[in-house]
Structure 1
Amino acid sequence: MELNREVLDCMKSLRRRLREELALDIRLSQPDAINSMLSACLTSSNEETRRLGQLLAQYSDRPFAPAGAAPRMQAGHPLLVEEHAPRPTSDSVRMYRGQRVYA
């Protein structure tokens, strides 16, 4: 993704709003700054913050689905069907972006 003036201005104003509204400190130099901003925008109740999040998603070609607009999954949906892959012997399981990660 190309960081041009429009993208940087959007990121700066969104960063400022997220800091004021949600007390989040996201630095533009972080490798996952855009993903962090977009996920924070989904939890925001402010319409302007969400609009900036949608604009940033368009600039960065990343999906942005506002809360309540996510499609509902029914039984048998491919994402709900668990694969029968062998599990590692470790008992420590955590979730990362909706996926199980065995540590």
Structure 2
Amino acid sequence: MELNKAVIDCMRSLRRRLRDEQQLDIHLNQPDAVSAMLAGCVRSNDELTRELGRQLAAFSDQLPAPVPPPARNSGSATVRIYRGQRVLA
């Protein structure tokens, strides 16, 4: 992915929004910063944050990871996402 002004501006805006909304501490020099931001965008309830995530995904040629549906039965095992894989918790 080429880092140009548009990509950096998008990442900065997204970083601020995710920090305010979800208390995510993402640094732009992290090797997984883009995937962490995209995962945060998927969990966001704010439409502007989701739109910034779509822009970042288009810049980086990555797709945001889908959020698993909530468990219907409270007695069943919970499912978490770990490094892009579904795991039982």
How high is the TM-score relative to the length of structure 2?
0.75
Identity of aligned residues (%): 53
Could you tell me how far apart the structure 2 residues matched to 1:34 and 1:96 are?
Answer: 13
Unmatched runs of 5 consecutive residues or more in structure 1: 69-94
Structure exhibiting the larger radius of gyration computed from Cα positions: 1
The alignment yields a C-alpha RMSD, in angstroms, of: 2.0
Residues 17 and 49 in structure 2, CA contact (< 8 A), matched pair in contact too: yes
What secondary structure, in the 3-state scheme, does the structure 2 residue paired with 1:18 have? helix
Q: What is the letter of the counterpart of residue 85 of structure 2?
A: G
Change (3 A) 1:39 1:65: closer
For 1:75, the equivalent position in structure 2 comes to: none
- Equivalenced residue count is 74
1:97 is displaced (CA, Å) by 2.0
Higher helix fraction (1 or 2): 2
Q: What is the letter of the counterpart of residue 98 of structure 1?
A: Q
Change (3 A) 1:96 1:33: closer
For 2:49, the equivalent position in structure 1 comes to: 49
Which structure has more relative contact order (CA 8 Å, sep 6+)? It is 2
How high is the TM-score relative to the length of structure 1?
0.65
Residues 41 and 53 in structure 2, CA contact (< 8 A), matched pair in contact too: yes
Unmatched runs of 5 consecutive residues or more in structure 2: 69-81
1:96 is displaced (CA, Å) by 3.9
